[in-house]
A and B are shown apart, each in its own frame.
Chain A
Amino acid sequence: MNRSDWDWSPGEKIIADLQQWRKNFHEVEAPCVSPDGERIAAVVRMQDAPSFICETKSAWKRGFDKIWGLRFLPDNRLLAIVSAAGKWTVAVEGVPWENWFDFVWDVHVCGAGCNIVAAAQNGGAYFAVLDGIPWRSAFPSLSNLTLSPDGRHSAAVVQTVPFNSGDVFQFRKGCYTVARDGNPWPDNFLNIWDLTFSPDSHSIAAESRISVEDYTIVVDGKPWQRGFLSVWKPLFHPFDHSVTAPVKIDKGWSLAKDGEVIWQQRFFQLWHHAYSRQGNHIAAIAAPGFGRWTIAVDGKAWPLTFNHLVTDMVLSPDGERIACIGKTDAKWHIAVDAGCWDGSYDMIWEPVFSDDSRHVAVKAEKKGEICFVVDGVPLNDRFVSAWDPVFGPSSDCVLLKGITRNGVYVRHVFKLAEYNIQ
């Protein structure tokens, strides 16, 4: 995604009139827009006709029996899962993969080349398909599909030992493992979930249940020495290949690294941890007590807490700042660096940092309208539907993408200076 190539000239650009789409087609599904905001697309149908994709001004020529999972790739190409004659595949820019399957779902995209992986099923056998090429082996079931950061490897939880319905003893022997590019790890586990690749795409870590009461983290097929009462999703350190995960011990949650607990503090809950880019800080969503939610950084909780929940934690690119969304008394708030912005909303989406880490923008909803807030300053634009804001490459402007009350899709770039945001 090279944002420098996008149009960053300030001003509003009308891209499409969706009212017109509505007049032209019998049905128009919810649209999606490209990252650069220049394209908008939706699945459309005439009565009793196949599904088409309408894009910006007109519908594509080729229709399919069914289209779903419509989304734009980071490089602004359009992807959809399509079916024809009872078979399914992935189509990019309307061009289906060569191979078709009995079913396709759970698409992931990663890597500079926007590699695509999808889960697929043929004749009751399950496998992954990476850029149109199916794994060489198939399994009785597949879940938790993941794509490596370089986009060249895929992994999923697979069942390697079939068992009959009700055979609880066989299940307990372990019938599931991780298959990387179709090759299963040698050992099976009771359960295995939430895979994560290392930054160099070579290793995989996952949560696992190794006995009825023991949970641990498994890295490349090898469980940590120690079991815990429960664990959540592990992460690799950005550089040193160590693995950390929230673990439950002695009636509380803490953070463990390579099997050893590294935070002194115990929390009622701890999850969704993240590293700063340099790997020198770890932040996580935490509950210091029952029903009190906040962010913990390197084991220390913010003094600011929310009584309902905290979600959508994001670290700035330099790793020095944190933004999240908190809910207290049924109202949503934006919290940045342990402080709360003024105002509350009916819904708030994941915060977005500028490349220089100085600015934070969010999309929010109030009284049925979508609005945006940058560094605590509410913007004037109002939409009935909108997408996440995007900062310009020099961090001095923001791209807003939204549908106005008149049903017009607009792309609006404005300079932060317009709002005196320094």
Chain B
Amino acid sequence: MSYWGFRKVMSVSAKALPKVLDDSIDKAADRLAADQISAVIERLLYNEGGARLKTYMETCAHCGLCSDACHHYLSNNKDPKFSPAGKVRQTIDLIIRKKGNVSIEFIKRACEIAFTECNLCRRCVLYCPFGIDVAYLMIFVRRICHQLGVVPKFIQDTAHSHSATFNQMWVKEDEWIDTLFWQEEEAREEIPGLRIPVDQECAEIFYSVIGPEPKFRAQLIYQAAVIMNVAGMSWTMTAKPGWDSSNMCMYTGDHEMTARLKKVHFEAALRLKTKRIVMGECGHAFRSVTDVGNRYLGWKAPPLPVVHAIEFYHELISNKRINIVQKFDKPVTFHDPCNIVRGGGLHELARGIIDKTCEHFVEMHPNREHNYCCNAGGGIINCGPPYTSKRVRSNRVKADQLRDAKSWGARTIIAPCHNCHGGLEDIIKFYQLDMDIKFFSDIIYGCMDKNHPLTTEAIKKY
């Protein structure tokens, strides 16, 4: 089977999606005045709807070739409402045709479609003969919703957290620093002398994570610290805002806050005169740092090199900065996260790590840039519990993919992205797949030689 080949996508019986109740959408939309809606839309179309929007809207031939690319469409029994072009038709197309004169009910539905029925995964772009970026069009709809204040509650709360704290989980400044000290203390039990350097000027690496790590997954900071220390890297984290590279504002259509967050992140790394940013295993954060936030701010490329954990781990293993002493012995499969594979091209490096660290590898099909989204991405998982059931039901194809990989022996899924973890966990539970999920750092931490002498470049420096 070729790498992009499709094993048969098994169909599961069609059930109507549960009615979703997010009172914040109703509450916010019901306060809108009709002229307010048209005024906001008119302003955004005029100021921000440039040639790209016009070209896409005027080029779409409604051929439907993008439909089979979308997991929402496939998982909802090919209901045309869920096809990429169908979502465009129900939202931005009508908005433009009606010159912004749309009803409150329309805005509520457009909000639901743009925020919870499209992951901005860009799979459909690969299949459109014109390369129309439906994700861009859905972000435009989200932008309108944001400016109208009609955004699903849970993701809006996350965006509010970003704006107030510069991290997505309302982590307070002292809680963050305390977490670093705590993880350092724990890890020192295992690796004597281990350090998590904080605000260390001139380190080679500025290591950034995302909000959920100090909140729920502190073990990832521990593992990163072990890997950095054993590899003898010159690295630092910051005690100041800017430690969180995530960016849910990118998904709520809040471009101004997206830019502000990236400024804080980049300036934290620049202030410490570090040479590059290494990011933890997150997909959307990578997109926000390397492709979106930098451009909003006027930087063609990020102002200093940005390296995703996949590239970094691959480098450490290839350069023998860390040595794998015993490979992970259970068969694994790999979920290609949209933002770092379709968006970032890191699929072969990821397979390079698997090759060096795992005994048995089962490809998921389709894979690489053709992989299906986990359905958590694009901020859908951040829309929270009101949409969980809809979200998992709308990704039956991912369950089929996983089931297929499992039938070839895979019990463990490696997914180097936080959102993918959340999305896949829900799918595994709902479809009773009985599989477990790991980050690369879980695998590497478990397989590496931790007795490698501590030869930090920082020590050599003085």
A and B: real partners?
Answer: yes
Is A308 within 8 A of B462, CB to CB? no
Is B157 within 8 A of A268, CB to CB? no
Query: In the complex, which of the residues A106, A213, A271 contacts B240, with contact meaning CB atoms closer than 8 Å?
Result: A106
Q: Which residues of B contact A167 (CB under 8 A)?
A: 157
Is B198 within 8 A of A68, CB to CB? yes
Q: Which residues of A contact B160 (CB under 8 A)?
A: 168, 171
Is A311 within 8 A of B462, CB to CB? no
Q: Which residues of B contact A172 (CB under 8 A)?
A: 149
Is A18 within 8 A of B273, CB to CB? no
Among B156, B170, B174, B297, chain A packs the most CB atoms within 10 A around the CB of B174
Question: B299 contacts the other chain (Cβ, under 8 Å)?
Answer: yes
Is B27 within 8 A of A347, CB to CB? no
Interface stretch among B90-98, B106-114, B189-197, B387-395?
B189-197
Q: Which residues of B contact A190 (CB under 8 A)?
A: 163
Is A168 within 8 A of B303, CB to CB? no
In the complex with contacts A191-B164, A251-B47, A30-B200 CB distance below 8 A? yes
Is B462 within 8 A of A30, CB to CB? yes
Is B299 within 8 A of A309, CB to CB? yes
Q: Which residues of B contact A308 (CB under 8 A)?
A: 299, 301, 303
Among B256, B275, B460, chain A packs the most CB atoms within 10 A around the CB of B256
Question: B458 contacts the other chain (Cβ, under 8 Å)?
Answer: yes
A208 nearest CB across to chain B (Å): 11
A169 to B156 CA separation, bound complex (whole angstroms): 10
Q: Which residues of A contact B201 (CB under 8 A)?
A: 30
Within 149-201 of B, Cβ neighbours of A (below 8 Å) are at 149, 151, 153-154, 156-157, 160, 163-165, 170, 172-174, 177-178, 181, 192-193, 195, 197-201
Question: A26 contacts the other chain (Cβ, under 8 Å)?
Answer: yes
B403 nearest CB across to chain A (Å): 34
Question: A307 contacts the other chain (Cβ, under 8 Å)?
Answer: yes
Is B297 within 8 A of A269, CB to CB? yes
How many residues from A make CB contacts under 8 Å with B? 59
A309 nearest CB across to chain B (Å): 4
Question: B64 contacts the other chain (Cβ, under 8 Å)?
Answer: no
Is B156 within 8 A of A105, CB to CB? no
Query: In the complex, which of the residues A47, A143, A213, A403 contacts B165, with contact meaning CB atoms closer than 8 Å?
Result: A143
Question: B428 contacts the other chain (Cβ, under 8 Å)?
Answer: no
Query: In the complex, which of the residues A141, A143, A311 contacts B241, with contact meaning CB atoms closer than 8 Å?
Result: A143
Interface string of A144-185 (1 = CB under 8 A from B): 000000000000000100000111110110001000000000
Query: In the complex, which of the residues A26, A327, A407 contacts B303, with contact meaning CB atoms closer than 8 Å?
Result: A327
Is B300 within 8 A of A212, CB to CB? no
Q: Which residue of A lies closest to B157 (CB)?
A: A166
B55 nearest CB across to chain A (Å): 19
Q: Which residues of A contact B156 (CB under 8 A)?
A: 168
Q: Which residue of B lies closest to A349 (CB)?
A: B273
Q: Which residue of B lies closest to A365 (CB)?
A: B202
Q: Which residues of B contact A171 (CB under 8 A)?
A: 157, 160, 164
Question: A131 contacts the other chain (Cβ, under 8 Å)?
Answer: no
B135 nearest CB across to chain A (Å): 22
Question: A29 contacts the other chain (Cβ, under 8 Å)?
Answer: yes
B124 nearest CB across to chain A (Å): 28
Q: Which residues of A contact B297 (CB under 8 A)?
A: 269
B66 nearest CB across to chain A (Å): 30
A386 nearest CB across to chain B (Å): 9
Within 264-316 of A, Cβ neighbours of B (below 8 Å) are at 268-269, 271, 287, 290-291, 293, 307-309, 311
Query: In the complex, which of the residues A103, A159, A166, A347 contacts B273, with contact meaning CB atoms closer than 8 Å?
Result: A347
Q: Which residues of B contact A403 (CB under 8 A)?
A: 461-462
In the complex with contacts A311-B270, A349-B273, A384-B462, A291-B300 CB distance below 8 A? yes
Q: Which residues of A contact B298 (CB under 8 A)?
A: 268-269, 287, 290-291, 293
A251 to B154 CA separation, bound complex (whole angstroms): 30
Q: Which residue of B lies closest to A121 (CB)?
A: B174
Q: Which residues of B contact A251 (CB under 8 A)?
A: 47
In the complex with contacts A106-B240, A212-B146, A290-B298, A191-B174 CB distance below 8 A? no
Within 61-93 of A, Cβ neighbours of B (below 8 Å) are at 66, 68-69
Interface string of A197-221 (1 = CB under 8 A from B): 0000000000001001101000000
Among A30, A106, A213, A251, chain B packs the most CB atoms within 10 A around the CB of A30
Question: A114 contacts the other chain (Cβ, under 8 Å)?
Answer: no
Q: Which residues of B contact A248 (CB under 8 A)?
A: 256
Q: Which residues of A contact B77 (CB under 8 A)?
A: none
Q: Which residues of B contact A143 (CB under 8 A)?
A: 164-165, 173, 241
In the complex with contacts A105-B174, A212-B146, A31-B153 CB distance below 8 A? no
A64 to B222 CA separation, bound complex (whole angstroms): 24
Q: Which residues of A contact B461 (CB under 8 A)?
A: 384-385, 403
Question: A119 contacts the other chain (Cβ, under 8 Å)?
Answer: yes
A159 to B160 CA separation, bound complex (whole angstroms): 13
Question: B259 contacts the other chain (Cβ, under 8 Å)?
Answer: yes
Q: Which residue of B lies closest to A45 (CB)?
A: B193
Q: Which residues of A contact B202 (CB under 8 A)?
A: 347, 365, 385
A403 to B459 CA separation, bound complex (whole angstroms): 12
Q: Which residue of A lies closest to B194 (CB)?
A: A27
Question: A110 contacts the other chain (Cβ, under 8 Å)?
Answer: no
A119 to B200 CA separation, bound complex (whole angstroms): 20
A30 to B151 CA separation, bound complex (whole angstroms): 46
A362 nearest CB across to chain B (Å): 12
In the complex with contacts A106-B240, A230-B259, A307-B300 CB distance below 8 A? yes
Q: Which residues of B contact A30 (CB under 8 A)?
A: 197, 200-201, 458, 462
Is A168 within 8 A of B259, CB to CB? no
Is B174 within 8 A of A119, CB to CB? yes
Question: A256 contacts the other chain (Cβ, under 8 Å)?
Answer: no
A330 to B47 CA separation, bound complex (whole angstroms): 33
Q: Which residues of A contact B170 (CB under 8 A)?
A: 165
Q: Which residue of A lies closest to B199 (CB)?
A: A69
Question: A229 contacts the other chain (Cβ, under 8 Å)?
Answer: yes
Question: B147 contacts the other chain (Cβ, under 8 Å)?
Answer: yes
Is A106 within 8 A of B303, CB to CB? no
Q: Which residue of B lies closest to A287 (CB)?
A: B298
Q: Which residues of A contact B305 (CB under 8 A)?
A: 330
Is B239 within 8 A of A105, CB to CB? yes
Question: B24 contacts the other chain (Cβ, under 8 Å)?
Answer: yes
Q: Which residue of B lies closest to A26 (CB)?
A: B193
A66 to B180 CA separation, bound complex (whole angstroms): 13
Q: List 22 A-B contacts (CB under 8 A).
A: A26-B193, A30-B200, A30-B201, A31-B462, A68-B198, A105-B173, A105-B239, A119-B174, A126-B172, A143-B165, A143-B173, A165-B157, A165-B170, A168-B24, A168-B157, A169-B24, A171-B157, A171-B164, A176-B164, A191-B164, A290-B298, A291-B299
List 9 tightest A-B contacts by C-beta distance, closest first.
Answer: A291-B300, A269-B298, A287-B298, A103-B174, A309-B303, A268-B298, A168-B156, A230-B256, A166-B157
With contacts A106-B173, A169-B24 known, what are 13 further pairs, Cβ within 8 A?
A18-B462, A26-B193, A27-B193, A66-B181, A103-B174, A105-B174, A126-B172, A165-B157, A169-B28, A213-B147, A215-B256, A230-B256, A271-B263
